[in-house]
Structure 1
Amino acid sequence: MNMNNCHDWTLIGLSVNWQIGELQIEMLDSSSQRRVWVARNLVSLVLPRQHPWGPSVSINEVSVSNAGNGVTAKLEVQSGDVIECIAGSFDLH
């Protein structure tokens, strides 16, 4: 999974399948192709939408790190909001 080059991608939306513990984050990449980032075995999701820097749907940066309880991913939107999730694994489609 390489999420290092997603600056200025467009965040479209998120969906959670609670029953199977899966999160899907839908985005458009720099060439306007639809991409889906899938988190499996979801443990935690923090989803603020406060716009401290003003409204935006563009991604600023993504960081991913391994933790004792899974993989932690933080997706910073150019609004200043940081979406944080912990899951067993992440895949980009």
Structure 2
Amino acid sequence: MHDWTLISLRFDWNEARVTLSLNNTASDTVYLVAENVARLFVPKMDEWGKSVSINEIIGPTRQSDGIEILQIEMQSGDVIEIAAASFVLPMGSN
């Protein structure tokens, strides 16, 4: 997902679902979905400068309690972290 663009992040509180809208390198809109979200951390400090592009995806990594952690490092230096029961990653995200 390097150089993909983060368009939006939506947290449906009632459904405990986070949906990220992304543009891939072909400029197609794709979605990353986290189900049964337990924790969401979305900093916007822009330590490396303003950017809407993804640098690196780390995970999802299953923890001992069964929760999966996904980290999205933005090219701004911010790291979005989602802890959820499961993730649906967009096609071609590897």
Common fold, TM-score beyond 0.5?
yes
> Which residue of structure 2 aligns with residue 52 of structure 1?
47
In structure 2, list runs of 5 or more residues that go unmatched. none
> Which residue of structure 1 aligns with residue 32 of structure 2?
37
> Which residue of structure 1 aligns with residue 80 of structure 2?
83
Q: Distance in 1 between matches of 2:64 and 2:80?
A: 19
1:27-57 per-position Cα deviation (integer Å, ceiling 9, x unaligned): 0001011110000000000000000000000
Percentage of pairs with the same residue: 39
Q: CA RMSD in A?
A: 0.8
* Equivalenced residues, count: 88
SS at match of 1:42: strand
List structure 1 runs of 4+ shifted beyond 6 angstroms: none
Of 10, 16, 19, the match for 2:14: 19
Q: Structure 2-normalised TM-score? A: 0.91
Q: Distance in 1 between matches of 2:55 and 2:63?
A: 23
Of 58, 63, 70, the match for 1:67: 63
Deviation at 1:83, TM superposition (A): 0.1
Q: Structure 1-normalised TM-score? A: 0.91
Q: Distance in 1 between matches of 2:24 and 2:57?
A: 13
Q: Distance in 2 between matches of 1:28 and 1:89?
A: 22
Which amino acid letter does the alignment assign opposite residue 56 of structure 2? E
